[in-house]
Amino acid sequence: MNKFEEKIKKLAETYGKNPDEFINVLENSSGVLQEKKGDLFLEIGGILYNLSFFKLILTVLDRALKYFIDSKDKPGELSCYGNLGIAHYHLGDFRKAIEYYERALEINKEVGNKILESRSYGNLGNAYDSLGNSNKAIEYHKRALGIDREIGDRSGEASCYANLGVDHFNLGDFRKAIEYQKKALGIDREIGDRSGESTCYTNLGIAYHKLGDLNKAVEYYKKALEIAIEISDRSGEASCYAKWSVANFSINP
């Protein structure tokens, strides 16, 4: 963490319950030209995201958005909409997240940014899935998949397949979920995405567990665990141990 990030962290800890005062302190101490303030607040929003100060992020990004709109800075405006959507998503306000994701999508389509257009569709799919509307989620994730195939984004394609697997899992179609997770897994292995590979193995374990195939579930949980240990993913490691233990105990009580 550099000195600027440390300063933002201290301010966030001091004014975390008073976002307006936090903004005032930043405005009065930044020493940044007016036309650069949007970029400054956007950068601070990123720092706050990494520190999980999600409520402060909303106020900071709203201020960044104001500066970008005033200066007719479309890329900056777009970044704010996407990040505001992500912040609201993390706060559990999925409908508000959808509102911002849709604004981001509109601009991405307008400027012809296919990569970010796909991301917007993916984010919308995740938000609708979190609202319990998995059919709508599938619609958006398939749109994202179509774009990723078109532009040759293999990482994005893997993410879409994994998301579609989750959507079908939430609909109770575990075999379809497995089909999509295996497609995602194949790409993750191809491009060397070990984290994505571990997630797919975990999701496959969960789906087989639901189908009652405990031996298969244990096999996939073990593979996920091995990768989590390899890449030092402590959270993933703990999750895999827990799932593996439950499935293994069911086989050998």
pLDDT in tens, 29-73: 766 666 788 999 999 999 999 998 988 999 999 999 999 999 999
Distance of CA 144 to the CA centre of its chain: 14
Query: What's the rounded Cα separation, in Å, for the pair 115 and 119?
Result: 6
Query: What's the rounded Cα separation, in Å, for the pair 164 and 56?
Result: 32
Identify how many contiguous H helices and E strands the chain contains and give both numbers. 13, 0
Query: What's the rounded Cα separation, in Å, for the pair 17 and 221?
Result: 41
189 — phi, psi (to 5°)? -70, -40
The pLDDT of 245-251, averaged and rounded, is 78
Mean pLDDT, the chain, rounded, equals 94
Q: CB of 197 within 8 A of CB of 239?
A: no
Residue 78, token pair as written in the block: 């777009």
CB atoms within 10 A of CB 147: 21
Burial zone of 205 (CB within 10 Å; 0-12 exposed, 13-18 middle, 19+ buried): buried
Residue 81, token pair as written in the block: 């909409």
- Domain parsing of the chain, residue ranges: 1-112
What's the pLDDT at 30?
Answer: 66
Q: Is 85 helix (H, G, I), strand (E, B) or coil?
A: helix
Architecture of domain 1-112: Alpha Horseshoe (1.25)
Over residues 157-185, the pLDDT tens digits come to: 999 999 999 999 999 999 999 999 999 99
Matching residue, tokens 């899935």 = 129
Q: CB of 158 within 8 A of CB of 188?
A: yes
